[in-house]
Amino acid sequence: MIKKCLMFLCAALLAVQAQANAPKPPDQVIQDATSNLQNLLREHHDEYKANNALFQKVVNDAVVPHFDLPQIAQLVLGRNWRNATPDQRTRFQNAFKNMLINAYASALLEYYDSVTVEWKPLRMPANATDVTVNSLLKRPGKQPVAIGFAMSLVDNDWKIYDITILDVSLVTSYRDQFGAEIKKNGLENTIQGIESGKLGVKPEVKTGGG
Amino acid sequence: MPKLSKRLALVLSCLALGACAHSPVSDPSDPLEPVNRVMFSFNEKLDHYVAKPAAQGYNAALPEEFRTGLHNFFTNLTYPTVIVNDALQGKLKQSGLDTTRFLMNTVIGLGGFLDPATMVGLERNDEDFGQTLGVWGVGQGWYLMLPLLGPSTNRDLVGRVGSAVTNPLTYTTSEISIPTEGVSIVDTRAQLLGSEGILDQQLDRYIFVRSAYLQHRQSLVYDGNPPREKLDFGDDDDTAPTPPSK
């Protein structure tokens, strides 16, 4: 019996060794990032609430690296991507990122402790480079919300390039909205609009005074 | 009976209208946008002053168990539509299971107030005539914003007529059907309470609702697994993906 256990242990160790160079699995990436952020929020909640700049930085460091920003910018610009200059592409990417952080960071501060996430088992074929990690967001007294994270392998790291909420893709719905705006006012004006905050979204939760 | 044949004529003529208008989800055909936008703001006002307060009152007045029961009842009432459309889409096994589900909830579940079928593993499915037309390859046509009824397309408008045929309320007197529909609408709105915040996060609510509605319908046509959109960076016109054969 002990012998069998030892053999199993050895085999497991070998398997771990073999996978040392393999990327961290996509579902693990998201789950770790989520619990990391929740822990940070639990420990420093009041600090973040008082210091918006600090919290923006934390989100930038803890969340943003898991997103494939260039890919997202390209998907959101869609057919306007080709006509954009390299400078416009970078500016759009940054402005869009900041817009989203502004929109969702306050909600994060407000709801981080009341939501629980149930992760669905990931079915991923070997050598896959594109997967969707499915989860169920549960809030007390409300219907659970199905959220999917579309991820692809970028330089041996799994990164998010789209989030689907109840089968509505964020990338697609922003592409449609920016597409209409660009059609009306042109790409340059649209980018300037996002940069200046004139074109943007209200934070879901209004942050109080401090 | 003549009422039915009139409906059928309407279905057929609308079908013809819907079928000639193919357009990809990513670039929806919305020639009526100016009118649709007017309807949209009318609907938003109506929601703000009538539907939302009604839903809030409904939530406040009735205990949760009772509201869940009513919600189950309305879902079960229109379930024949699901059974018929399972069959029309060739999902015969699912149609059989959904028939079992309907009978079980109607008989054992006290007319649909309880949902014993889900407890024994007969999950609820979502099918309607609009989806069936999509599976058959009919394009969605124009995006429409209907007064009172909300977003739709040519295809889904035709589907609504079909769903009316399989709705038992169609065959009752207006004394029964109107109040029942009324409560059903309030129930639907109450389910959405608390989700309005997402609308405030958008640059253009009209376009967001259009985008979300079309994506949602597309996903339903493909039973939750819509094909990944072909990425379009302006090189060529992409066409609507062909629906699954099964």
Mean pLDDT score of chain B: 84
CATH assignment at residue A73: 3.10.450.710
Does position A118 have pLDDT exceeding 80, yes or no? yes
**For B196, which residue in chain A has the nearest alpha carbon?**
A204
**For A197, which residue in chain B has the nearest alpha carbon?**
B203
CB of A189 within 8 Å of any CB in chain B? no
pLDDT of residue A208: 40
Smallest Cβ distance to A176: which of B198, B207, B235? B207
The pLDDT tens digits of the residues spanning A129-180 come to 899 999 998 877 677 888 999 999 999 999 999 999 888 999 999 999 999 9
pLDDT of residue B235: 45
Contact B4, B174 (CB under 8 A): no
pLDDT of residue A141: 67
Q: How far is B32 from chain A (nearest CA, A)?
A: 15
- Collect all residues of chain B within an 8 Å Cβ-Cβ radius of residue A174: 203
Domain residues for the domain of A144 are 22-196
- Which range (B91-105, B201-215, B229-243) has the least confidence? B229-243
- Write down the pTM of the prediction: 0.80
* Total number of domains in chain A: 1
User: Is the Cβ pair B234, A83 closer than 8 Å?
Assistant: yes
pLDDT-derived band at A87, boundaries 50, 70, 90: very high
User: Is the Cβ pair B203, A199 closer than 8 Å?
Assistant: yes
Alpha-carbon gap, residue B50 to A24, rounded angstroms: 51
Q: Which of A131, A173, A181, A183 to mutate to test the interface with B (most CBs of B within 10 A)?
A: A173
Does position B88 have pLDDT exceeding 80, yes or no? yes
Mean pLDDT of B194-199: 77
Q: How far is B237 from chain A (nearest CA, A)?
A: 10
Contact A194, A95 (CB under 8 A): yes
Alpha-carbon Rg for chain B, nearest whole angstrom, is 19
CB of B239 within 8 Å of any CB in chain A? no
- Collect all residues of chain B within an 8 Å Cβ-Cβ radius of residue A178: 203
> Does any domain span residue A30?
yes
Q: Which of A82, A102, A167 to mutate to test the interface with B (most CBs of B within 10 A)?
A: A167
Distances (CA, A) of A153 to A94, A97, B231: 21, 20, 17
> Does any domain span residue A3?
no
pLDDT-derived band at A206, boundaries 50, 70, 90: very low
Mean pLDDT of B26-36: 85
**Phi/psi class of residue B67: alpha, beta or left (left: φ > 0; alpha: ψ in -120 to 50)?**
alpha
Does position B230 have pLDDT exceeding 80, yes or no? no
User: Is the Cβ pair B235, A82 closer than 8 Å?
Assistant: yes
Angle at the Cα of A164 from the Cα atoms of A187 and A186, rounded to 5 degrees: 5
Does position B244 have pLDDT exceeding 60, yes or no? no
The pLDDT tens digits of the residues spanning B137-170 come to 999 999 999 998 899 999 999 999 999 999 988 8
Smallest Cβ distance to B207: which of A81, A104, A180? A180
Query: Does residue B22 sit in helix, strand or coil?
Result: coil
Q: How far is A156 from chain B (nearest CA, A)?
A: 23
Mean pLDDT score of chain A: 84
CB of B118 within 8 Å of any CB in chain A? no
pLDDT-derived band at B10, boundaries 50, 70, 90: low
pLDDT of residue A169: 92
> Does any domain span residue A6?
no
Percentage of chain A modeled with pLDDT above 90: 43
**For B195, which residue in chain A has the nearest alpha carbon?**
A142
Smallest Cβ distance to A168: which of B191, B203, B212? B212
pLDDT of residue B217: 93
Does position B213 have pLDDT exceeding 90, yes or no? yes
Percentage of chain A modeled with pLDDT above 70: 85
Q: How far is A7 from chain B (nearest CA, A)?
A: 41
Mean pLDDT of B18-32: 62
User: Is the Cβ pair A79, B234 closer than 8 Å?
Assistant: yes
Does position A115 have pLDDT exceeding 90, yes or no? no
Instruction: Look up residue A205 and give its DSSP letter.
Output: S
- Which range (B131-140, B150-159, B198-207) has the least confidence? B198-207
The pLDDT tens digits of the residues spanning A32-69 come to 998 999 899 989 988 888 888 888 889 888 899 999 99
Contact A202, B201 (CB under 8 A): yes
Contact A67, A94 (CB under 8 A): no
Smallest Cβ distance to A202: which of B200, B219, B235? B200
Mean pLDDT of B100-108: 96
Q: Of residues B119 and B238, which shows the higher confidence score?
A: B119
